[in-house]
Amino acid sequence: MRRSGMILAATLLTAAIAQAQDGTGLIVAPPPAWVEPVEWTEWKKASTPNGFVDHLIDIQVNLETEETFFRIVYTPTTVDAVQQGSTVTLSCDPSYSAPTLHSAIKRREGIAEDQSGIKFQRVQREVDLEESMYLGIESWVAFLRDVAAGDVIELSYTVRGFNPIFAGLYSSIIDMQGTTPIGLASLRVRYPRDRKLSFKVVGGGSPGEITEEGSYREFRIRRAAVPAIRYEDNLPHGYQPASRVAISEFGSWADVAAWGSRLYEFEPAPAIAAKAAELVANEADPESRALAILSFVQDEVRYLGIEAGENSHRPHDPAEVLGNRFGDCKDKAALFCALAEAAGLRARPALVSSWRSELVDEDLPSPESFNHVIARLEIGDRTFFVDPTRSLQGGPLAERAIGDLRRALVLAPGTVGISRLPEPRPISRSLAERITITDFTGSANLRAEFTYSSEAADGFRAFANEKAEVDIRKEFAEYLLDRYDDVALIGDPKIRDDRITNVLTVLVHARLPRAWTAEGNKSRFTVSPYFVLDTMTDPPSVLDRSQPYSLPYHEKVSHRQEIDFPEDWTVEDSSDSRGGNFFTLERSIRGKGRVVTIDTSFRIDADRVQPGAWRAYLADLKESRTDLGWTFTKNFDAASSGSKKGGTNRIAMFIVGGLLFGASALSMGLDY
């Protein structure tokens, strides 16, 4: 299903339509009397990024009748777009809203065909299996007849009913721009004069206008010839270039916090008190009690969201969540706070956004700014933010990762504004290799210890939790085989997991059967800091960007390689540092007796690359990757007839700038 160029986040779930039929529950009727017709003309666009041209996106909202009218006129311009654009779906939550169809018209060469009689099927979209979400959404799906590229499709309908969870207060964020070009984008909001609404236009353009007529006010804004936005890859959180209109009836963030706090008020339950006492029975200090409760909620209450109706924002009773042992982010945050309070701790839920980040600073006070719930915990004069929805975390409270969320609204008495969240802690991954060479012509023994800390440890712990031992062994064998010519693992990888410090290590022993390569009277052995190079791979090959590029800020990767030769090996100790404004690469080599030690580390110093610095970043990255590998050469004297003794040793750098080592779960961590 295509997305229209303009989206009403609070109400419009898919750009769609429905047709009334017996048993479907849909109604066909003219538009409500308060709706104003908007004139439009066909917008001739030669090419579009997604195969659609939206001639008109018209949204009209009536706060008094709780109705939202949609009129969408579009043309599919490609075969793929016809496939999407001829399938129409109307979705809503029937517990508080209902749709009414007004028109479904296809125009070809100026001839209009009414298709209001097409057959619709009513489908209940119960569970999003990938996200473990039950949304309570129902959809009506139909297929327009005889649609071809170049046809003009007009759909209009009204959805009546606002979510009662907001207690009669309206708020929304409406995009005036999207991935489809729009000939005319029109928004009208009608509301009684005694209701105090605020409007804010973000992303450029006119601020709109407010007019009065009798006992009503109306906000109007129109945009003509709105270009499509081409979203580039890997955009940082908080970046949103689309023009949008924020609307809110909440007067302040304190009002939003007070509204949200009421949703989390529950009567004390004996089951909660009993469970809290059980969890903290052997914990002496407040932090250990908090950690015991947090680990229980994270690891023993599975994630499952039942978000129909008011439960889109209202959590279920913590006693019910405890009994079910499942819940979504709201439920798990509410359960954590209830158990913490029962154990004598101070905890409150906090609203956050998983992607808007500091973009919240631009918003009008509104629940629409948030899509996730975490918890604030206060112990003495210390404040912690934790995420009960995460699982398999380790470390003290101060090091429990919540992600790069940046902003939160704490649902507590006295809250007057947005809280700034602490920056994410550094994420560290390291590999220490010990390569023991028994002779200069054949194999070597490898001892490799992978170490993950902080959020990287959480990610690998989750990865290992879903794998059998044989699968973990295979993962490491394949990973090392990509880095060396030949690898034979000795035994299974040994995982040591210290959840108290949140440091996880994996020890691997292996044989390198073909470590040395013979070339006449010489033998060569080559190593490169592949664990670091995996992080330094090139971004998508584009010369220029118009949007910022996200970097994994606070990440540090290091690789130590100790090579133990059969005899003393002389090297010239050296070290250097490279990089620029976005990262720092440090490397060194030193020798002592038979052992040569090579250290390479890579630290990311910024959270994004702005478009103007893109080429400089690529050049710095390419330059820093050169001369990172080392080749060790053993020369055998001709008189020695291939003897391993009496030869000379040499070491040389080689360029690895052209190598692109593929990232893997072992080197890069997981998405968590």
- We report the CATH number of the domain holding residue 296 as 3.10.620.30
Which percentage of the chain shows pLDDT scores above 90? Answer: 75
Say whether pLDDT at 344 is over 90: yes
Same domain, 120 and 267: no
Say whether pLDDT at 655 is over 50: no
pLDDT digits (tens, 9 = 90+) for 102-119: 999 999 999 999 998 888
Same domain, 521 and 575: yes
Note the pLDDT of residue 647: 43
Q: Which residues pair with 451 in a beta bridge?
A: 430, 505
Written as one string, the DSSP assignment of 85-122 is HTEEEEEE-TTT-EEEEEEEEEEETTEEEE-TT---EE
Tokens of 389: 């929805």
| Domain, as residue range, for 568 | 427-668
pLDDT band at 346; cut points 50, 70, 90: very high
Q: What is the mean pLDDT of residues 22-34?
A: 85
Final residue in a domain of this structure, among 217, 249, 281: 249
In a domain, 13, yes or no: no
Final residue in a domain of this structure, among 386, 404, 420: 420
Q: How many domains are there within the chain?
A: 3
Same domain, 495 and 478: yes
In a domain, 20, yes or no: no
Q: Is the Cβ–Cβ distance between 31 and 102 less than 8 Å? A: yes
Same domain, 203 and 294: no
- We report the CATH number of the domain holding residue 95 as 2.60.40.3140
474: DSSP letter: H
Strands 182-192 and 52-62: parallel
pLDDT digits (tens, 9 = 90+) for 92-101: 899 999 999 9
Final residue in a domain of this structure, among 224, 249, 274: 249
In a domain, 471, yes or no: yes
Same domain, 500 and 389: no
In a domain, 503, yes or no: yes
Helix (H) / strand (E) containing 444: strand 444-453
In a domain, 9, yes or no: no
Same domain, 497 and 587: yes
Same domain, 122 and 222: yes
In a domain, 18, yes or no: no
Least confident of 19-28, 30-39, 328-337, 362-371: 19-28
In a domain, 614, yes or no: yes
Taking Cα atoms as reference points, which of 386, 179, 172, 227 lies closest to residue 291? 386
In a domain, 97, yes or no: yes
Note the pLDDT of residue 205: 78
Contacts of residue 618, defined as CB under 8 A and 6 or more positions apart, other chains included, come to: 538, 539
Q: Three-class SS of residue 159?
A: strand
Same domain, 263 and 168: no
pLDDT band at 464; cut points 50, 70, 90: very high
Give the C-alpha distances (Å, rounded to integers) separating 236 from 93, 201, 356.
32, 22, 9
Least confident of 1-10, 322-331, 498-507: 1-10
Note the pLDDT of residue 391: 96
Q: What is the mean pLDDT of residues 29-57?
A: 91
pLDDT digits (tens, 9 = 90+) for 174-191: 999 999 999 999 999 999
**What CA–CA distance (Å, rounded) separates 380 from 346?**
9
89: DSSP letter: E
Say whether pLDDT at 199 is over 70: yes
Note the pLDDT of residue 649: 59
pLDDT band at 539; cut points 50, 70, 90: confident
Note the pLDDT of residue 554: 85
Q: How many CB atoms lie within 10 A of CB 127?
A: 14
Same domain, 480 and 352: no
Note the pLDDT of residue 481: 92
Note the pLDDT of residue 130: 56
Same domain, 116 and 141: yes
Q: What is the mean pLDDT of residues 379-402?
A: 97
Same domain, 199 and 266: no
Note the pLDDT of residue 485: 83
Tokens of 435: 């390569």
Say whether pLDDT at 411 is over 90: yes
Give the C-alpha distances (Å, rounded to integers) separating 393 from 78, 296, 345, 498, 562.
48, 11, 20, 11, 32
> Within 13 Å of residue 44, how many CA atoms lie on the same side as its CB?
0
Sequence-ordered alpha helix ranges (H) in 363-403: none
Helix (H) / strand (E) containing 185: strand 182-192
Same domain, 522 and 644: yes
Note the pLDDT of residue 637: 64
